[in-house]
Amino acid sequence: MGFKTGIIGLPNVGKSTLFNALTKSNNAQAENFPFCTIDPNVGEVPVPDNRLQKLSSMANSKEVIPAKMTFVDIAGLVEGASKGEGLGNKFLANIRECDAVAHVIRCFENENVTHVNQVLNPVSDIDIINTELLLADLESVNKRIDNHKKKSKETDVQLTSIEFLEKAKALLEEGTHVRNGSFNEEELVMKKYSQLLTSKPMLFICNVDEDSVVSGNQFSKSVEEKANSLDSKTINISVSIEQELSELTDPDELQSFLNEMGMMTAGLDKFINQGYKLLDLCTYFTVGPKETKAWTINRNTCAPEAAGKIHTDFKKGFIRAETVSYGDYVECGGWAKAKESGKLRSEGKEYIVKDGDILNFLFNK
Ligand SMILES: Nc1nc2c(ncn2[C@@H]2O[C@H](COP(=O)(O)OP(=O)(O)OP(=O)(O)O)[C@@H](O)[C@H]2O)c(=O)[nH]1
Ligand SMILES: [Mg+2]
């Protein structure tokens, strides 16, 4: 399974509708009542990337294979969830398995769509969710500290030091999410292994009314301010527009709908790309007559590791990587011409793969 982003938020804010639009399906039940979703819905979504089409047409590839991201539509969370209210702990476990979270906030007024807290107050909605995540983490950190003291053999005890846990505890006790703490390199690895809910990168998705997608509204502006104070990013999406867009298959029809709404791109594309950035991912390409394919790697991945994404043999027997940057490839007019112009580089084991690199791996069989 690839990189996973969990869609979280209060009940009935549009998470499942957003998930259906993303996955162009009706797999998730989306209805006007709280706690409609219980079991998480999981779907893979192609990462939009204009470079893919360009490369494949230059190489005359038979097939184009985009990178994929996984989205998980999770049950709504209410005050007290960390103590088991609503769907409580089950829901929290679903978040634990994700690499990042997209926090959906209702920023549209509509008397016909139930809001669990009656009044629309996005900042207080955020606080409810963030507090529950924080309380759940505090409980988990305390348990792990106890396990350390008892010298338990549980895996999480081995993966996170007591110093790291004490540091996380101090942050949580002052109301700070673990993501916003500062850690040294070793602790950063522990942070990742810890799977703490508040350690995961968080993106705020303002579900605004149809007239506010371009410039936002008073509600989304208040979310933006809040997000800035938390060092997180915000995007405005009208889930109902995205739902309509996802039903259009004709590209011309889609473009004219976007123009009508004054939108540059579909909100979902913005969302997927932001998710990609949030997870600090980048893309490299393999290009040939059979297929042009995008591969997802963490930023700062070295060449053998990147080769291992294709096949473990590529990593084990790695000799070197031939590479051309996307810009040079397009400018020169393909692989052979890039080679003639001296733009093709031969890189070794230490090479850090860059976003947009076109790679050909040489390896011992
Ligand atoms: N007007 C309007 N209604 C929306 C929008 N997004 C969602 N809804 C409606 O809100 C209701 C709840 O949507 P869901 O997608 O099921 O919400 P959810 O967040 O998944 O809810 P739970 O699974 O119960 O937590 C549905 O009736 C949707 O049609 C929107 O952008 N505008
Ligand atoms: Mg739902």
Cα of 338 to ligand 1 centre, how many Å?
50
CATH level 3 topology of 4-278: Rossmann fold (3.40.50)
Q: Tell me what pLDDT residue 169 has.
A: 97
- Fold agreement (4-278, 300-363): no
Cα of 114 to ligand 2 centre, how many Å?
13
Q: Is 108 in the pocket of ligand 1 (CB under 6 A)?
A: yes
83 CB neighbour count, 10 Å cutoff = 12
Ligand in closest contact with the CA of 212: 1
Q: Collect the ranges in the chain with pLDDT lower than 50.
A: 1
Q: Is 113 in the pocket of ligand 1 (CB under 6 A)?
A: yes
Which ligand 1 atom minimizes the distance to the CA of 20?
15
HEC profile of the chain = CCCEEEEECCCCCCHHHHHHHHHCCCCCCCCCCCCCCCCCEEEEEECCCHHHHHHHHHHCCCEEECCEEEEEECCCCCCCHHHCCCCHHHHHHHHHCCCEEEEEEEECCCCCCCCCCCCCCHHHHHHHHHHHHHHHHHHHHHHHHHHHHCCCCCHHHHHCCHHHHHHHHHHHHCCCCHHHCCCCHHHHHHHHHHCCHHHCCEEEEEEECHHHCCCCCHHHHHHHHHHHHCCCEEEEECHHHHHHHHCCCCHHHHHHHHHHHCCCCCHHHHHHHHHHHHCCEEEEEEECCCEEEEEEEECCCEHHHHHHCCCHHHHHCEEEEEEECHHHHHHHCCHHHHHHCCCCEEECCCCECCCCCEEEEEECC
Q: Please state the domain extents for the chain.
A: 4-278, 300-363
> By the 8 A CB rule, do 275 and 102 touch?
yes
Q: Is 110 in the pocket of ligand 1 (CB under 6 A)?
A: yes
> By the 8 A CB rule, do 31 and 12 touch?
no
- What pTM was estimated for this model as a whole? 0.88
Cα of 245 to ligand 2 centre, how many Å?
20
Q: Is 13 in the pocket of ligand 1 (CB under 6 A)?
A: yes
Cα of 307 to ligand 2 centre, how many Å?
38
Ligand in closest contact with the CA of 116: 1
Ligand in closest contact with the CA of 22: 1
Cα of 85 to ligand 1 centre, how many Å?
21
Q: Tell me what pLDDT residue 1 has.
A: 46
Domain formed by 300-363, architecture: Roll (3.10)
Strand-strand pairing, 202-208 and 291-298? unpaired
Q: Is 29 in the pocket of ligand 1 (CB under 6 A)?
A: no
Tokens of 321: 């990587």
Q: Tell me what pLDDT residue 183 has.
A: 93
Strand-strand pairing, 41-46 and 68-73? antiparallel
Q: Is 301 in the pocket of ligand 1 (CB under 6 A)?
A: no
